[in-house]
Structure 1
Protein backbone atom coordinates (compact mmCIF):
# COMPACT_ATOMS: atom_id res chain seq x y z
CA UNK A 1 0.00 0.00 0.00
CA UNK A 2 1.08 3.60 -0.60
CA UNK A 3 -0.45 7.05 -0.38
CA UNK A 4 -1.17 9.46 -3.21
CA UNK A 5 -0.90 13.25 -3.14
CA UNK A 6 -4.14 13.51 -1.17
CA UNK A 7 -2.92 11.14 1.51
CA UNK A 8 -5.33 8.34 0.51
CA UNK A 9 -4.11 4.76 0.52
CA UNK A 10 -3.91 2.97 -2.84
CA UNK A 11 -2.82 -0.51 -3.84
CA UNK A 12 0.60 -0.86 -5.37
CA UNK A 13 0.74 -2.11 -8.96
CA UNK A 14 2.26 -5.57 -9.24
CA UNK A 15 3.81 -7.25 -12.28
CA UNK A 16 5.96 -10.33 -12.74
CA UNK A 17 9.58 -10.16 -13.84
CA UNK A 18 8.54 -11.72 -17.14
CA UNK A 19 6.01 -8.92 -17.72
CA UNK A 20 8.63 -6.32 -16.82
CA UNK A 21 11.15 -7.88 -19.22
CA UNK A 22 8.66 -7.94 -22.10
CA UNK A 23 7.55 -4.39 -21.39
CA UNK A 24 11.08 -3.01 -21.35
CA UNK A 25 12.52 -5.25 -24.07
CA UNK A 26 14.24 -3.41 -26.90
CA UNK A 27 12.19 -2.96 -30.05
CA UNK A 28 13.34 -2.85 -33.69
CA UNK A 29 14.44 0.69 -34.51
CA UNK A 30 12.36 2.56 -37.09
CA UNK A 31 15.27 4.70 -38.22
CA UNK A 32 14.92 5.64 -41.91
CA UNK A 33 11.30 4.49 -41.90
CA UNK A 34 10.59 7.09 -44.57
CA UNK A 35 13.30 9.58 -45.56
CA UNK A 36 10.78 11.86 -47.25
CA UNK A 37 8.44 12.16 -44.29
CA UNK A 38 11.14 11.98 -41.60
CA UNK A 39 14.37 13.25 -43.21
CA UNK A 40 16.20 14.27 -40.03
CA UNK A 41 14.30 12.41 -37.31
CA UNK A 42 12.50 9.12 -37.00
CA UNK A 43 9.63 7.88 -34.81
CA UNK A 44 10.80 6.58 -31.45
CA UNK A 45 9.01 4.42 -28.86
CA UNK A 46 6.30 6.38 -27.07
CA UNK A 47 5.78 8.82 -29.94
CA UNK A 48 2.60 9.43 -31.93
CA UNK A 49 2.23 10.06 -35.67
CA UNK A 50 -1.08 11.61 -36.65
CA UNK A 51 -2.09 11.40 -40.33
CA UNK A 52 -5.09 13.54 -41.11
CA UNK A 53 -6.87 15.11 -44.03
CA UNK A 54 -10.24 15.22 -45.71
CA UNK A 55 -11.80 12.23 -47.45
CA UNK A 56 -9.90 10.60 -50.35
CA UNK A 57 -6.54 12.25 -49.64
CA UNK A 58 -4.51 9.03 -49.34
CA UNK A 59 -4.44 8.57 -45.56
CA UNK A 60 -5.04 4.81 -45.56
CA UNK A 61 -2.70 4.30 -48.51
CA UNK A 62 0.11 6.18 -46.77
CA UNK A 63 -0.53 4.17 -43.61
CA UNK A 64 -0.33 0.92 -45.58
CA UNK A 65 2.94 2.06 -47.16
CA UNK A 66 4.46 2.61 -43.71
CA UNK A 67 3.03 -0.73 -42.58
CA UNK A 68 4.71 -2.60 -45.43
CA UNK A 69 8.11 -1.12 -44.56
CA UNK A 70 7.70 -2.16 -40.93
CA UNK A 71 6.89 -5.81 -41.62
CA UNK A 72 9.30 -6.43 -44.53
CA UNK A 73 12.45 -8.46 -43.72
CA UNK A 74 15.79 -6.76 -43.20
CA UNK A 75 17.64 -8.85 -45.77
CA UNK A 76 17.33 -11.85 -48.05
CA UNK A 77 20.28 -13.96 -49.24
CA UNK A 78 22.71 -11.15 -48.51
CA UNK A 79 20.60 -8.47 -50.18
CA UNK A 80 19.44 -5.55 -47.98
CA UNK A 81 15.65 -5.34 -48.22
CA UNK A 82 15.57 -2.26 -45.93
CA UNK A 83 12.65 -3.62 -43.91
CA UNK A 84 12.50 -3.60 -40.10
CA UNK A 85 11.10 -7.07 -39.32
CA UNK A 86 8.85 -5.31 -36.81
CA UNK A 87 5.48 -6.67 -35.77
CA UNK A 88 2.45 -4.41 -36.17
CA UNK A 89 -0.96 -4.45 -34.52
CA UNK A 90 -3.48 -2.84 -36.88
CA UNK A 91 -6.92 -1.74 -35.62
CA UNK A 92 -9.37 -1.24 -38.48
CA UNK A 93 -12.49 0.78 -37.71
CA UNK A 94 -13.42 1.62 -41.32
CA UNK A 95 -13.61 -2.04 -42.39
CA UNK A 96 -11.77 -0.97 -45.55
CA UNK A 97 -8.49 -2.78 -44.98
CA UNK A 98 -7.61 -5.00 -47.95
CA UNK A 99 -5.07 -7.75 -47.40
CA UNK A 100 -4.95 -8.23 -51.17
CA UNK A 101 -3.88 -4.61 -51.59
CA UNK A 102 -1.18 -5.04 -48.95
CA UNK A 103 -0.06 -8.27 -50.64
CA UNK A 104 0.22 -6.39 -53.94
CA UNK A 105 2.31 -3.61 -52.37
CA UNK A 106 4.63 -6.05 -50.56
CA UNK A 107 5.19 -8.09 -53.70
CA UNK A 108 5.97 -5.04 -55.83
CA UNK A 109 8.31 -3.53 -53.25
CA UNK A 110 10.22 -6.79 -52.87
CA UNK A 111 10.61 -7.21 -56.63
CA UNK A 112 11.81 -3.63 -57.09
CA UNK A 113 14.31 -3.79 -54.21
CA UNK A 114 15.71 -7.22 -55.06
CA UNK A 115 16.00 -6.53 -58.78
CA UNK A 116 17.75 -3.23 -58.09
CA UNK A 117 20.11 -4.38 -55.37
CA UNK A 118 20.87 -7.84 -56.78
CA UNK A 119 22.85 -6.18 -59.57
CA UNK A 120 24.99 -4.33 -57.03
CA UNK A 121 25.33 -7.51 -54.97
CA UNK A 122 26.28 -9.56 -58.02
CA UNK A 123 28.90 -7.06 -59.11
CA UNK A 124 30.50 -6.86 -55.67
CA UNK A 125 30.40 -10.64 -55.30
CA UNK A 126 31.95 -11.03 -58.72
CA UNK A 127 34.85 -8.70 -57.85
CA UNK A 128 35.53 -10.56 -54.60
CA UNK A 129 35.42 -13.90 -56.39
CA UNK A 130 37.90 -12.73 -59.02
CA UNK A 131 40.27 -11.44 -56.39
CA UNK A 132 40.19 -14.64 -54.38
CA UNK A 133 39.92 -17.34 -57.05
CA UNK A 134 40.77 -15.43 -60.26
CA UNK A 135 37.68 -16.89 -61.84
CA UNK A 136 36.42 -16.03 -65.31
CA UNK A 137 33.22 -14.22 -66.32
CA UNK A 138 31.27 -17.48 -66.12
CA UNK A 139 31.44 -17.50 -62.33
CA UNK A 140 30.07 -13.94 -62.33
CA UNK A 141 27.08 -15.12 -64.34
CA UNK A 142 26.54 -18.04 -61.99
CA UNK A 143 26.67 -15.70 -58.98
CA UNK A 144 23.98 -13.53 -60.53
CA UNK A 145 21.78 -16.54 -61.16
CA UNK A 146 22.01 -17.56 -57.50
CA UNK A 147 20.37 -14.38 -56.24
CA UNK A 148 17.53 -14.19 -58.73
CA UNK A 149 14.19 -14.52 -56.98
CA UNK A 150 11.60 -16.99 -58.19
CA UNK A 151 7.88 -17.12 -57.50
CA UNK A 152 8.17 -19.53 -54.56
CA UNK A 153 10.80 -17.33 -52.84
CA UNK A 154 8.67 -14.25 -53.38
CA UNK A 155 5.61 -15.99 -52.02
CA UNK A 156 7.50 -17.08 -48.91
CA UNK A 157 8.87 -13.57 -48.31
CA UNK A 158 5.41 -12.04 -48.58
CA UNK A 159 3.95 -14.71 -46.31
CA UNK A 160 6.62 -14.21 -43.63
CA UNK A 161 6.02 -10.46 -43.78
CA UNK A 162 2.24 -10.84 -43.37
CA UNK A 163 2.82 -13.08 -40.34
CA UNK A 164 4.17 -9.99 -38.54
CA UNK A 165 0.83 -8.22 -38.90
CA UNK A 166 -2.01 -8.64 -36.40
CA UNK A 167 -5.43 -7.37 -37.48
CA UNK A 168 -8.32 -6.31 -35.23
CA UNK A 169 -11.63 -4.83 -36.39
CA UNK A 170 -13.85 -2.57 -34.29
CA UNK A 171 -17.35 -1.35 -35.09
CA UNK A 172 -17.95 1.18 -32.28
CA UNK A 173 -16.11 3.27 -29.71
CA UNK A 174 -17.18 0.89 -26.94
CA UNK A 175 -15.74 -2.04 -28.86
CA UNK A 176 -12.55 -0.05 -29.42
CA UNK A 177 -12.28 0.57 -25.67
CA UNK A 178 -12.77 -3.13 -24.93
CA UNK A 179 -10.18 -4.01 -27.56
CA UNK A 180 -7.59 -1.62 -26.12
CA UNK A 181 -8.14 -3.20 -22.70
CA UNK A 182 -7.70 -6.73 -24.07
CA UNK A 183 -4.70 -6.29 -26.39
CA UNK A 184 -2.28 -6.08 -23.47
CA UNK A 185 -2.05 -9.88 -23.55
CA UNK A 186 -0.95 -9.69 -27.19
CA UNK A 187 1.80 -7.18 -26.43
CA UNK A 188 3.01 -9.17 -23.44
CA UNK A 189 3.32 -12.33 -25.56
CA UNK A 190 4.98 -10.65 -28.56
CA UNK A 191 7.94 -8.46 -27.56
CA UNK A 192 8.66 -7.68 -31.22
CA UNK A 193 5.37 -5.80 -31.52
CA UNK A 194 6.69 -2.33 -32.22
CA UNK A 195 3.92 -0.36 -33.91
CA UNK A 196 0.25 0.18 -33.10
CA UNK A 197 -1.76 1.48 -36.07
CA UNK A 198 -5.32 2.76 -35.99
CA UNK A 199 -7.38 3.55 -39.09
CA UNK A 200 -9.57 5.57 -38.63
CA UNK A 201 -9.96 7.36 -35.31
CA UNK A 202 -12.79 9.56 -36.61
CA UNK A 203 -15.01 6.73 -37.84
CA UNK A 204 -17.41 6.86 -34.89
CA UNK A 205 -17.50 10.65 -34.57
CA UNK A 206 -21.12 11.20 -35.62
CA UNK A 207 -22.31 8.07 -33.85
CA UNK A 208 -20.74 9.30 -30.61
CA UNK A 209 -22.10 12.81 -31.09
CA UNK A 210 -25.61 11.40 -31.40
CA UNK A 211 -25.11 9.26 -28.28
CA UNK A 212 -23.82 12.19 -26.22
CA UNK A 213 -26.29 14.71 -27.69
CA UNK A 214 -25.43 18.35 -27.13
CA UNK A 215 -23.31 17.50 -24.12
CA UNK A 216 -19.80 18.22 -25.40
CA UNK A 217 -18.31 17.31 -22.02
CA UNK A 218 -19.54 13.71 -22.35
CA UNK A 219 -18.14 13.54 -25.86
CA UNK A 220 -14.76 14.76 -24.61
CA UNK A 221 -14.83 12.23 -21.79
CA UNK A 222 -15.46 9.40 -24.25
CA UNK A 223 -12.56 10.54 -26.43
CA UNK A 224 -10.31 10.94 -23.41
CA UNK A 225 -10.96 7.32 -22.39
CA UNK A 226 -9.60 6.16 -25.75
CA UNK A 227 -6.72 8.62 -25.46
CA UNK A 228 -5.79 7.41 -21.98
CA UNK A 229 -5.77 3.75 -23.00
CA UNK A 230 -3.65 4.44 -26.07
CA UNK A 231 -1.16 6.47 -24.04
CA UNK A 232 -0.93 3.69 -21.47
CA UNK A 233 -0.20 1.08 -24.14
CA UNK A 234 2.46 3.04 -25.99
CA UNK A 235 4.23 4.05 -22.79
CA UNK A 236 4.15 0.68 -21.04
CA UNK A 237 5.12 -1.37 -24.10
CA UNK A 238 7.43 1.12 -25.88
CA UNK A 239 5.24 1.39 -28.97
CA UNK A 240 5.03 3.84 -31.84
CA UNK A 241 1.42 4.86 -32.47
CA UNK A 242 0.39 5.78 -36.03
CA UNK A 243 -3.22 6.79 -36.55
CA UNK A 244 -5.40 8.43 -39.17
CA UNK A 245 -8.08 11.05 -38.60
CA UNK A 246 -10.55 12.88 -40.79
CA UNK A 247 -10.47 16.64 -40.96
CA UNK A 248 -12.23 19.32 -42.93
CA UNK A 249 -10.93 22.74 -44.03
CA UNK A 250 -12.28 25.58 -41.92
CA UNK A 251 -13.54 27.83 -44.69
CA UNK A 252 -13.48 31.21 -43.04
CA UNK A 253 -15.62 30.25 -40.06
CA UNK A 254 -14.64 33.39 -38.17
CA UNK A 255 -13.81 35.80 -40.97
CA UNK A 256 -16.64 34.76 -43.29
CA UNK A 257 -14.16 34.35 -46.16
CA UNK A 258 -13.06 31.07 -47.64
CA UNK A 259 -9.35 30.37 -47.55
CA UNK A 260 -7.37 28.32 -50.02
CA UNK A 261 -4.52 27.79 -47.56
CA UNK A 262 -3.82 24.33 -46.19
CA UNK A 263 -2.16 25.37 -42.95
CA UNK A 264 -2.61 23.01 -40.05
CA UNK A 265 -4.47 25.62 -38.00
CA UNK A 266 -7.08 25.98 -40.76
CA UNK A 267 -8.07 22.31 -40.67
CA UNK A 268 -10.59 21.19 -38.11
CA UNK A 269 -10.25 17.69 -36.71
CA UNK A 270 -13.32 15.53 -36.12
CA UNK A 271 -11.99 14.56 -32.68
CA UNK A 272 -11.48 16.44 -29.44
CA UNK A 273 -8.60 18.86 -29.03
CA UNK A 274 -6.94 16.54 -26.49
CA UNK A 275 -5.45 14.55 -29.35
CA UNK A 276 -3.35 17.51 -30.46
CA UNK A 277 -1.47 17.38 -27.16
CA UNK A 278 -0.06 13.88 -27.64
CA UNK A 279 0.89 14.05 -31.34
CA UNK A 280 4.62 14.32 -32.02
CA UNK A 281 4.31 14.25 -35.80
CA UNK A 282 1.30 15.65 -37.62
CA UNK A 283 0.91 14.86 -41.30
CA UNK A 284 -1.64 16.90 -43.23
CA UNK A 285 -2.66 15.37 -46.57
CA UNK A 286 -4.29 17.20 -49.47
CA UNK A 287 -5.10 16.15 -53.01
CA UNK A 288 -3.39 18.17 -55.76
CA UNK A 289 -4.84 16.63 -58.92
CA UNK A 290 -8.55 17.21 -58.36
CA UNK A 291 -10.66 16.77 -60.43
CA UNK A 292 -8.30 14.93 -62.84
CA UNK A 293 -5.29 12.68 -62.22
CA UNK A 294 -2.02 13.89 -63.69
CA UNK A 295 0.28 12.30 -66.25
CA UNK A 296 3.35 10.83 -64.55
CA UNK A 297 4.96 7.83 -66.22
CA UNK A 298 4.50 7.73 -69.96
CA UNK A 299 0.78 7.45 -70.60
CA UNK A 300 -0.04 6.23 -67.07
CA UNK A 301 -2.37 8.41 -65.02
CA UNK A 302 -1.80 8.53 -61.26
CA UNK A 303 -3.44 10.39 -58.39
CA UNK A 304 -1.27 13.15 -56.93
CA UNK A 305 -1.14 14.20 -53.27
CA UNK A 306 0.74 16.63 -51.04
CA UNK A 307 1.74 15.94 -47.45
CA UNK A 308 2.83 18.61 -44.96
CA UNK A 309 4.80 17.29 -41.99
CA UNK A 310 4.73 19.27 -38.73
CA UNK A 311 7.30 18.39 -36.06
CA UNK A 312 8.49 20.47 -33.09
CA UNK A 313 7.53 23.78 -34.63
CA UNK A 314 9.11 22.96 -37.98
CA UNK A 315 7.44 21.86 -41.18
CA UNK A 316 8.26 20.57 -44.64
CA UNK A 317 6.24 19.13 -47.47
CA UNK A 318 6.56 16.62 -50.28
CA UNK A 319 4.42 15.27 -53.09
CA UNK A 320 3.59 11.64 -53.76
CA UNK A 321 1.61 9.60 -56.26
CA UNK A 322 -0.59 6.57 -55.74
CA UNK A 323 -0.63 3.83 -58.36
CA UNK A 324 -1.46 0.14 -58.37
CA UNK A 325 2.06 -0.50 -57.07
CA UNK A 326 1.73 1.76 -54.03
CA UNK A 327 3.22 5.15 -53.20
CA UNK A 328 5.98 6.92 -55.15
CA UNK A 329 7.44 10.26 -54.14
CA UNK A 330 7.97 13.02 -56.66
Structure 2
Protein backbone atom coordinates (compact mmCIF):
# COMPACT_ATOMS: atom_id res chain seq x y z
CA UNK A 1 0.00 0.00 0.00
CA UNK A 2 2.82 2.40 0.92
CA UNK A 3 4.72 1.49 -2.27
CA UNK A 4 1.65 2.18 -4.41
CA UNK A 5 1.26 5.58 -2.74
CA UNK A 6 4.93 6.47 -3.37
CA UNK A 7 5.04 5.44 -7.04
CA UNK A 8 1.46 6.41 -7.73
CA UNK A 9 0.70 8.96 -10.43
CA UNK A 10 -2.39 11.12 -10.93
CA UNK A 11 -3.42 14.00 -13.11
CA UNK A 12 -4.10 17.49 -11.75
CA UNK A 13 -7.83 16.88 -12.28
CA UNK A 14 -7.70 13.67 -10.24
CA UNK A 15 -5.69 15.37 -7.48
CA UNK A 16 -8.16 18.27 -7.20
CA UNK A 17 -11.11 15.88 -7.15
CA UNK A 18 -9.47 13.88 -4.34
CA UNK A 19 -8.60 16.96 -2.26
CA UNK A 20 -12.10 18.46 -2.62
CA UNK A 21 -13.63 15.16 -1.59
CA UNK A 22 -11.32 14.75 1.43
CA UNK A 23 -11.52 18.39 2.49
CA UNK A 24 -14.75 19.79 1.03
CA UNK A 25 -15.57 23.49 1.00
CA UNK A 26 -18.06 24.54 3.65
CA UNK A 27 -20.95 26.76 2.60
CA UNK A 28 -21.56 28.93 5.66
CA UNK A 29 -24.69 30.95 6.51
CA UNK A 30 -25.02 34.72 6.14
CA UNK A 31 -22.87 36.82 6.63
CA UNK A 32 -20.03 34.28 6.16
CA UNK A 33 -21.36 33.15 2.79
CA UNK A 34 -19.23 35.23 0.42
CA UNK A 35 -15.92 33.41 0.90
CA UNK A 36 -15.65 29.64 0.36
CA UNK A 37 -13.98 28.12 3.42
CA UNK A 38 -12.57 24.71 4.13
CA UNK A 39 -10.93 22.84 6.99
CA UNK A 40 -7.68 24.32 8.38
CA UNK A 41 -8.87 27.86 7.66
CA UNK A 42 -8.67 30.18 10.69
CA UNK A 43 -11.52 32.71 10.50
CA UNK A 44 -11.55 35.71 12.84
CA UNK A 45 -14.93 37.43 13.37
CA UNK A 46 -14.00 40.86 14.73
CA UNK A 47 -16.27 43.63 15.91
CA UNK A 48 -17.21 45.93 18.79
CA UNK A 49 -19.65 44.87 21.47
CA UNK A 50 -22.45 44.31 20.63
CA UNK A 51 -22.19 43.32 16.97
CA UNK A 52 -23.87 39.86 16.82
CA UNK A 53 -20.54 37.96 16.83
CA UNK A 54 -21.77 35.23 19.20
CA UNK A 55 -25.07 35.13 17.32
CA UNK A 56 -23.14 34.31 14.13
CA UNK A 57 -21.46 31.41 15.93
CA UNK A 58 -24.81 30.15 17.25
CA UNK A 59 -26.24 30.29 13.73
CA UNK A 60 -23.24 28.31 12.49
CA UNK A 61 -23.68 25.74 15.28
CA UNK A 62 -27.32 25.20 14.27
CA UNK A 63 -26.34 24.75 10.61
CA UNK A 64 -23.69 22.18 11.52
CA UNK A 65 -25.52 20.00 14.06
CA UNK A 66 -28.90 19.77 12.31
CA UNK A 67 -29.34 16.64 10.17
CA UNK A 68 -29.52 16.86 6.40
CA UNK A 69 -32.81 14.99 6.31
CA UNK A 70 -34.86 12.54 8.36
CA UNK A 71 -37.92 10.53 7.33
CA UNK A 72 -38.35 12.52 4.14
CA UNK A 73 -37.99 15.90 5.86
CA UNK A 74 -35.22 18.24 4.66
CA UNK A 75 -33.61 20.06 7.60
CA UNK A 76 -30.71 21.47 5.57
CA UNK A 77 -27.99 20.84 8.18
CA UNK A 78 -24.44 19.61 7.67
CA UNK A 79 -24.92 16.82 10.24
CA UNK A 80 -21.48 17.49 11.73
CA UNK A 81 -20.37 17.73 15.38
CA UNK A 82 -19.14 21.10 16.71
CA UNK A 83 -16.57 21.95 19.39
CA UNK A 84 -17.40 25.23 21.18
CA UNK A 85 -14.92 26.83 23.62
CA UNK A 86 -16.55 29.70 25.50
CA UNK A 87 -14.00 32.16 26.91
CA UNK A 88 -16.57 34.91 27.52
CA UNK A 89 -18.73 32.47 29.54
CA UNK A 90 -21.86 34.08 28.15
CA UNK A 91 -23.20 31.60 25.62
CA UNK A 92 -27.00 31.45 25.79
CA UNK A 93 -27.80 27.77 25.27
CA UNK A 94 -31.51 28.64 25.41
CA UNK A 95 -30.96 30.81 22.31
CA UNK A 96 -29.38 27.85 20.49
CA UNK A 97 -32.27 25.57 21.46
CA UNK A 98 -34.74 28.24 20.29
CA UNK A 99 -33.16 28.41 16.82
CA UNK A 100 -33.06 24.61 16.55
CA UNK A 101 -36.70 24.15 17.56
CA UNK A 102 -37.93 26.86 15.19
CA UNK A 103 -35.97 25.46 12.24
CA UNK A 104 -37.08 21.89 12.97
CA UNK A 105 -40.72 22.95 13.29
CA UNK A 106 -40.50 24.98 10.06
CA UNK A 107 -39.05 22.04 8.11
CA UNK A 108 -41.73 19.67 9.42
CA UNK A 109 -44.50 22.14 8.70
CA UNK A 110 -43.27 22.61 5.14
CA UNK A 111 -43.56 18.89 4.38
CA UNK A 112 -46.66 18.33 6.47
CA UNK A 113 -45.39 15.02 7.84
CA UNK A 114 -43.78 16.19 11.08
CA UNK A 115 -45.05 15.53 14.58
CA UNK A 116 -44.05 16.51 18.11
CA UNK A 117 -42.21 13.21 18.58
CA UNK A 118 -40.12 13.80 15.46
CA UNK A 119 -39.31 17.32 16.66
CA UNK A 120 -38.00 16.02 19.98
CA UNK A 121 -35.95 13.24 18.41
CA UNK A 122 -34.33 15.52 15.83
CA UNK A 123 -33.60 18.10 18.56
CA UNK A 124 -31.92 15.48 20.79
CA UNK A 125 -29.92 14.09 17.88
CA UNK A 126 -28.73 17.60 16.98
CA UNK A 127 -27.75 18.59 20.52
CA UNK A 128 -25.73 15.37 20.89
CA UNK A 129 -23.41 16.78 18.24
CA UNK A 130 -22.71 19.93 20.29
CA UNK A 131 -19.67 19.81 22.58
CA UNK A 132 -19.34 22.79 24.95
CA UNK A 133 -16.38 23.85 27.11
CA UNK A 134 -16.28 26.93 29.35
CA UNK A 135 -12.93 28.45 30.43
CA UNK A 136 -12.39 31.14 33.06
CA UNK A 137 -8.72 31.95 32.36
CA UNK A 138 -5.93 31.26 29.88
CA UNK A 139 -4.64 28.28 31.85
CA UNK A 140 -8.00 26.53 31.55
CA UNK A 141 -8.10 27.47 27.85
CA UNK A 142 -4.67 25.94 27.23
CA UNK A 143 -5.64 22.84 29.20
CA UNK A 144 -8.78 22.47 27.07
CA UNK A 145 -6.74 22.72 23.85
CA UNK A 146 -4.16 20.21 25.09
CA UNK A 147 -6.84 17.62 25.95
CA UNK A 148 -8.82 18.07 22.72
CA UNK A 149 -6.70 15.61 20.74
CA UNK A 150 -7.24 12.89 23.34
CA UNK A 151 -10.96 13.69 23.50
CA UNK A 152 -11.31 13.49 19.71
CA UNK A 153 -9.39 10.22 19.51
CA UNK A 154 -11.56 8.76 22.28
CA UNK A 155 -14.71 9.89 20.51
CA UNK A 156 -13.52 8.36 17.25
CA UNK A 157 -12.70 5.06 18.99
CA UNK A 158 -16.09 4.90 20.67
CA UNK A 159 -17.82 6.18 17.50
CA UNK A 160 -19.78 8.65 19.63
CA UNK A 161 -21.09 10.87 16.86
CA UNK A 162 -20.45 8.68 13.84
CA UNK A 163 -18.68 11.57 12.07
CA UNK A 164 -15.56 13.59 12.72
CA UNK A 165 -15.63 17.13 14.04
CA UNK A 166 -15.33 19.70 11.29
CA UNK A 167 -15.71 23.01 13.18
CA UNK A 168 -13.95 24.46 16.24
CA UNK A 169 -15.40 27.71 17.65
CA UNK A 170 -13.72 30.04 20.15
CA UNK A 171 -15.69 32.89 21.73
CA UNK A 172 -13.87 35.30 22.42
CA UNK A 173 -10.17 34.78 21.66
CA UNK A 174 -9.13 38.05 23.35
CA UNK A 175 -11.15 37.53 26.53
CA UNK A 176 -8.09 37.24 28.80
CA UNK A 177 -5.90 39.75 26.96
CA UNK A 178 -5.49 42.27 29.78
CA UNK A 179 -4.98 39.60 32.44
CA UNK A 180 -2.24 37.89 30.40
CA UNK A 181 -0.65 41.23 29.56
CA UNK A 182 -0.47 42.06 33.26
CA UNK A 183 1.31 38.78 33.99
CA UNK A 184 4.32 39.91 31.95
CA UNK A 185 5.05 42.64 34.50
CA UNK A 186 5.27 40.19 37.40
CA UNK A 187 8.74 39.05 38.57
CA UNK A 188 9.85 35.67 37.23
CA UNK A 189 10.24 33.22 40.11
CA UNK A 190 11.92 30.38 38.24
CA UNK A 191 14.48 31.48 35.60
CA UNK A 192 14.40 27.98 34.06
CA UNK A 193 10.72 28.26 33.14
CA UNK A 194 9.01 30.43 30.59
CA UNK A 195 7.24 33.40 32.10
CA UNK A 196 3.43 33.15 31.73
CA UNK A 197 2.73 36.27 29.69
CA UNK A 198 0.61 37.31 26.72
CA UNK A 199 3.20 36.29 24.10
CA UNK A 200 3.90 32.83 25.54
CA UNK A 201 0.19 32.15 26.02
CA UNK A 202 -0.61 32.83 22.36
CA UNK A 203 2.48 30.99 21.17
CA UNK A 204 1.10 27.95 22.99
CA UNK A 205 -2.44 28.55 21.70
CA UNK A 206 -1.27 28.71 18.07
CA UNK A 207 1.00 25.70 18.57
CA UNK A 208 -1.75 23.55 20.12
CA UNK A 209 -4.33 24.47 17.47
CA UNK A 210 -1.77 23.76 14.71
CA UNK A 211 -0.99 20.32 16.13
CA UNK A 212 -4.71 19.62 16.52
CA UNK A 213 -5.42 20.50 12.87
CA UNK A 214 -2.66 18.19 11.65
CA UNK A 215 -4.49 15.16 13.04
CA UNK A 216 -8.07 16.48 12.90
CA UNK A 217 -8.56 18.97 10.06
CA UNK A 218 -11.23 21.47 11.11
CA UNK A 219 -12.50 24.94 10.31
CA UNK A 220 -11.69 27.31 13.18
CA UNK A 221 -14.01 30.25 13.88
CA UNK A 222 -12.85 32.71 16.55
CA UNK A 223 -14.61 35.91 17.60
CA UNK A 224 -12.66 38.95 18.81
CA UNK A 225 -13.97 42.10 20.48
CA UNK A 226 -12.36 45.30 19.15
CA UNK A 227 -12.51 48.94 20.26
CA UNK A 228 -12.23 52.13 18.24
CA UNK A 229 -9.21 54.45 18.29
CA UNK A 230 -7.66 57.26 16.28
CA UNK A 231 -5.09 55.08 14.50
CA UNK A 232 -5.60 51.47 13.58
CA UNK A 233 -4.28 48.65 11.46
CA UNK A 234 -7.64 48.29 9.76
CA UNK A 235 -10.48 50.70 9.20
CA UNK A 236 -13.49 51.16 6.98
CA UNK A 237 -14.40 54.43 5.27
CA UNK A 238 -17.62 54.64 3.34
CA UNK A 239 -21.38 54.67 3.66
CA UNK A 240 -22.43 52.69 6.69
CA UNK A 241 -18.98 52.53 8.33
CA UNK A 242 -18.88 56.25 9.18
CA UNK A 243 -15.04 56.45 9.13
CA UNK A 244 -14.73 54.24 12.21
CA UNK A 245 -11.34 52.73 12.95
CA UNK A 246 -10.61 49.68 15.10
CA UNK A 247 -7.59 48.85 17.19
CA UNK A 248 -5.60 45.68 16.56
CA UNK A 249 -4.20 44.42 19.86
CA UNK A 250 -3.61 40.70 19.41
CA UNK A 251 0.01 39.41 19.32
CA UNK A 252 1.60 39.14 15.89
CA UNK A 253 1.77 35.34 16.14
CA UNK A 254 -2.04 35.20 16.25
CA UNK A 255 -2.44 37.82 13.51
CA UNK A 256 -0.23 35.81 11.15
CA UNK A 257 -2.06 32.59 12.10
CA UNK A 258 -5.43 33.99 10.95
CA UNK A 259 -6.21 33.19 7.31
CA UNK A 260 -9.56 35.03 7.03
CA UNK A 261 -11.02 38.03 8.85
CA UNK A 262 -14.48 39.60 8.75
CA UNK A 263 -15.49 42.82 10.50
CA UNK A 264 -19.06 43.16 11.83
CA UNK A 265 -20.87 45.95 13.66
CA UNK A 266 -24.29 47.49 14.18
CA UNK A 267 -25.37 49.95 11.51
CA UNK A 268 -24.86 53.63 12.35
CA UNK A 269 -27.89 54.90 10.47
CA UNK A 270 -30.23 53.68 13.24
CA UNK A 271 -32.39 52.05 10.59
CA UNK A 272 -34.49 49.13 11.73
CA UNK A 273 -35.49 46.37 9.32
CA UNK A 274 -38.83 44.86 10.27
CA UNK A 275 -38.32 46.08 13.86
CA UNK A 276 -34.87 44.44 14.04
CA UNK A 277 -31.46 46.12 14.34
CA UNK A 278 -29.48 46.06 11.10
CA UNK A 279 -25.85 44.87 11.22
CA UNK A 280 -23.05 45.34 8.69
CA UNK A 281 -20.35 42.88 7.67
CA UNK A 282 -17.29 43.26 5.44
CA UNK A 283 -14.45 40.86 4.64
CA UNK A 284 -11.01 42.28 5.43
CA UNK A 285 -8.99 39.15 4.65
CA UNK A 286 -9.45 38.57 1.77
CA UNK A 287 -10.45 42.18 1.10
CA UNK A 288 -13.81 42.32 -0.64
CA UNK A 289 -15.37 45.61 -1.68
CA UNK A 290 -18.80 44.42 -0.58
CA UNK A 291 -20.83 45.53 2.42
CA UNK A 292 -23.42 42.98 3.59
CA UNK A 293 -26.40 43.87 5.76
CA UNK A 294 -28.09 41.31 8.01
CA UNK A 295 -30.62 41.14 10.81
CA UNK A 296 -31.02 38.77 13.76
CA UNK A 297 -34.49 37.29 14.15
CA UNK A 298 -35.90 34.53 16.36
CA UNK A 299 -35.03 31.76 13.90
CA UNK A 300 -31.52 32.99 13.08
CA UNK A 301 -29.65 35.46 10.85
CA UNK A 302 -30.95 36.63 7.49
CA UNK A 303 -29.91 39.18 4.86
CA UNK A 304 -31.82 42.42 5.31
CA UNK A 305 -32.27 42.87 1.55
Q: TM-score, normalised by structure 2?
A: 0.78
The answer to whether structure 1 residue 67 and structure 2 residue 39 are counterparts is no
Aligned-partner SS, 2:63? helix
The answer to whether structure 1 residue 89 and structure 2 residue 83 are counterparts is yes
Q: Which residue of 2 aligns with 1:170?
A: 135
The Cα shift of 1:259 comes to 8.4
Q: Which residue of 2 aligns with 1:319?
A: 293
The Cα shift of 1:260 comes to 6.0
Q: Is the 8 A contact 1:246 1:269 kept in 2?
A: no
Aligned-partner SS, 2:276? strand
Aligned-partner SS, 2:91? coil
Residues 281 and 95 of structure 1, relative CA distance in 2, 3 Å threshold: same
Segments of 5+ residues of structure 1 without an aligned counterpart are: 1-25, 119-146
Residues 266 and 93 of structure 1, relative CA distance in 2, 3 Å threshold: same
d(CA) in 1 for partners of 2:254 and 2:54? 19
- Note the 1:283-298 alignment, pairs <5 A: 283-288=262-267, 294-297=271-274
Q: Is the 8 A contact 1:94 1:200 kept in 2?
A: yes
Question: Which protein has the larger Cα radius of gyration, Structure 1 or Structure 2?
Answer: 1
d(CA) in 1 for partners of 2:172 and 2:22? 25
Q: Is the 8 A contact 1:54 1:286 kept in 2?
A: yes
Q: Which residue of 1 aligns with 2:165?
A: 193
The counterpart of 2:36, out of the listed 42, 51, 59, is: 42
Q: TM-score, normalised by structure 1?
A: 0.72
Segments of 5+ residues of structure 2 without an aligned counterpart are: 1-20, 157-162, 188-194
d(CA) in 2 for partners of 1:277 and 1:263? 28
The counterpart of 2:50, out of the listed 56, 60, 64, is: 56
The Cα shift of 1:51 comes to 0.5
Aligned-partner SS, 2:222? strand
Q: Which residue of 1 aligns with 2:27?
A: 32
The answer to whether structure 1 residue 107 and structure 2 residue 79 are counterparts is no
The answer to whether structure 1 residue 212 and structure 2 residue 184 are counterparts is yes
The Cα shift of 1:155 comes to 1.6
Count of residue pairs brought into register by the alignment: 268
